[in-house]
Amino acid sequence: MRYGPIDNKLFIANRANLVKNMKPGAVAILVSNDLMPKGADSFHVWRQNPDMFYLTGVDQEETFLVLFPDAPLDEWKEILFVRETNEKIADWEGEKLSKAQATAVSGIKNVQWSNMFEQMLPAIMFESKCCYLNTNEHARYSSEADYAELRFERKIRTKYPIHTYERLAPIMHQLRAKKHEVEIELMKHAASITKKGFERVCHFVKPGVMEYQVEAELTHEFLSNGSRGHAYEPIVASGKNACVLHYVVNDKPCKDGDLLLLDVGAEYAGYASDMSRCIPVNGRFSPRQKQVYNAVLRVFYQVKANLKPGRILRDNLKACQEAIEKECVDLGLFSMNDVNNQDKANPLYRKYFMHGVSHFLGIDVHDVGNHYRPIQENMIFTCEPGIYIKEEGIGVRIEGNMLITKSEPIDLLGHIPMEVEAIEELMHSK
């Protein structure tokens, strides 16, 4: 792995918290992600099932986890199954974890080879009162693709049709939303790598460079600092391209006089950072660009201040929308008279701000969590207001990663320049 060892107290604590939320006599079974075919004999870059990683730290395919806290045998209470290395695998792919290494990573004492999973499963199932299974229950997930958890769910229900089954996802969403101190440190490190990428780009960008060249500079810096790369498809959008929210083709030239919107973030040890900044291609904001940018920055600070324990994310979005509406009036995009006569079902600000302002952040960029429950200490959210003026070719989004504390939130990206003057100064420094 490109990252250093993670203290297994994280995974031990995560499993203990899960067990506290399971029903008496229940067993929980998790499976690792598939290797997804790309074409011919190649596969897409593999990434571990986030819940499997959260509970074990094992970053390896063909992994199974069984948690059975009320098992009749102590050795059944936690069982980790990992792929056994052989000479061919070692020659072609590199060695996999030994049992001792898997124990060191996860803190699980009973480690078996993956081919033992099917042999041991019947006895465990017959002793359990119910079984927790996992699927992707993220509110924004929409895909026709089959995946390992779904196949396992169908298989086990067919084999044990009169057992009782429970959903694991609601428990995992609750647990993963609050970050352990080890997770917070990993996310701070991801943010520090993102900072280095941003600084590199600020020294690189000038009129005539291509968006994909900017992406390459970021990728170089991320990989050079031990990241697996981008935590998500990078958005490098110059001029009017910044008004396309998920612009990822990154294939246009950066022109003199344009703003360049960067929505990028490094991943480190499985954890994401998520940054948005806008920089002037020629190194200086025009008066209008500065006006729009500072409008978004004011909203950013207002939204940030509202991210406190006890608040509800959806209420924060409403406050953000009201602030954006006021800024749009001040920018001359519409008047208060227009606001007073607008269609309430289709408010005018939506032309210029059409997305949310905060999402959970963690192992997944759009991490799991409940948007309807009160914010709690040690949760981490993005804060990302924006204003997009297509007719002027200006799109501005500013984004930080907010660690919730008892008082003011801490922006994990706060060490990355955000004010107009600081950005211009960085772009002209060498």
pLDDT tens for each residue of 269-308 = 999 999 999 999 999 999 999 999 999 999 999 999 999 9
CA distance 112 to 178: 31
Instruction: Give pLDDT, residue 69.
Output: 98
Instruction: Give pLDDT, residue 91.
Output: 82
Q: Are strands 400-403 and 380-383 parallel, antiparallel or unpaired?
A: antiparallel
Q: What pLDDT digit, counting tens, does each position of 252-276 carry? A: 999 999 999 999 999 999 999 999 9
- The answer to whether the CB of 264 falls within 8 A of the CB of 247 is no
Question: What single DSSP character describes residue 345?
Answer: T
Instruction: Give pLDDT, residue 370.
Output: 93
Instruction: Give pLDDT, residue 87.
Output: 83
CA distance 106 to 7: 9
- Candidates 347, 319, 318; CA nearest to 334 is 347
As given in the structure block, the two tokens for residue 4 are: 């250093």
What's the pTM value of the predicted model, to 2 decimals?
0.96
Residues of the chain with pLDDT under 50: none
What does the chain come to in residues?
A: 430
Count other C-beta atoms under 10 Å from residue 339's C-beta: 15
Crossing angle, helix 211-224 and helix 181-204, to 10 degrees? 140
Helix, strand, or coil (residue 179): coil
- The answer to whether the CB of 352 falls within 8 A of the CB of 389 is yes
Instruction: Give pLDDT, residue 94.
Output: 86
Find the helix or strand (DSSP H, E) in which 173 lies.
helix 169-177
